[in-house]
Chains A and B, each alone.
Chain A
Amino acid sequence: MSGEPDQLLLSFAMSFASSPPQGVVTPLCQSLADACQPFMAGDAAARLRLAAHELFENIVKYSQSGECELGFQLFRKDSGAMRARVETRNVPAASHRADAEQRLAALCTAPDPLAHYDAIIADSARRPAGSGLGLARIHAETEYRLGYRFENEALVIVASGDVWLRGALP
């Protein structure tokens, strides 16, 4: 391990002063995946789209103040692989804050993401709303690692995972 920092290759961020319409989520995340598709190998662009869509839709849905941020970064790791990172930031409603924290903590510590996902899916069938399926889906289906932190009232969620460029598959 060289200890060299990851090299930032690509970055974009969007900030919304008031809650963006739900209708903006699909075209934005589709555009992100389309932009990455030509140089990302395998299903990397599809996994990125899923992670971005679920995270972005969550903050649009659950932001208390309406202010929210979405960011995407692509890094080159010292191993030569790439790492994609999607980050969202919002101020969730108080009722959602504890729920989100509990779900994220359970996800981040689940010893078997797939088994945890299956349990959440089965549980969600009987829940009218708020199943936490989106976050669990990111964890299990994209294999991105999820992390989170609170900055005062704001909840920051980060999903990141390895991707490979076309012609650079391991």
Chain B
Amino acid sequence: MSLPLELDAVNTPGLRCTPTLDADKATIAFEGTGDVAAIELLSDYLKRVHAEAERLTLSEVTCDFRQLSFMNSSCFKAFVVWIDTVKNATRCYRIRFLTDPGMHWQRRSLEALRRLATGVVSVDG
């Protein structure tokens, strides 16, 4: 029996993060807009996601961006920090971004995150 995910859904007025766990893979659904109001929440949340991934020895964390309409550079940086942490961790896990091709910003932004850690990050959608 797998351990439960100790990570709640959180939200600011503009952004909601909803986690789910399936065996050794977690998915975080992001909904809304990642702007200045979400920076602290997101930065803290991704640290907790990483702690949970390590505690549960997850093989993959999927970030479902299909309902994320925009992300500013400060929120983008929170993902940079997280990916850099995973890339340099003793035990790596994969980070997968699930995108909506209709949200054009996602392709270019997430491709940049993929280039940061090609062995860790993949982009689908």
Contact = CB atoms under 8 A, between A and B. Distances in A.
Asked whether A and B interact, the reply is yes
B47 to A, nearest CB: 13
Contacts of A49: 70, 105
B70 A57 contact: no
B14 A46 contact: no
Interface string B9-44: 000001000000000000000000101110000000
A37 to B, nearest CB: 10
Please tell me the size bucket of the interface on A. 20 to 34
Interface of B is mostly: helix
Contacts of A117: 112
A97 interface: no
B115 interface: yes
A26 B70 contact: yes
A133 interface: yes
Contacts of B76: 133, 137
Contacts of B108: 140-141
Interface residues of B, number: 25
Interface stretch (B49-57, B58-66, B77-85, B90-98): B77-85
Contacts of A46: 103-105
A170 to B, nearest CB: 18
Given A26-B70, A53-B72, A117-B112, 11 more contacts: A22-B36, A23-B36, A26-B14, A30-B33, A47-B105, A118-B112, A133-B73, A133-B76, A134-B72, A137-B109, A140-B108
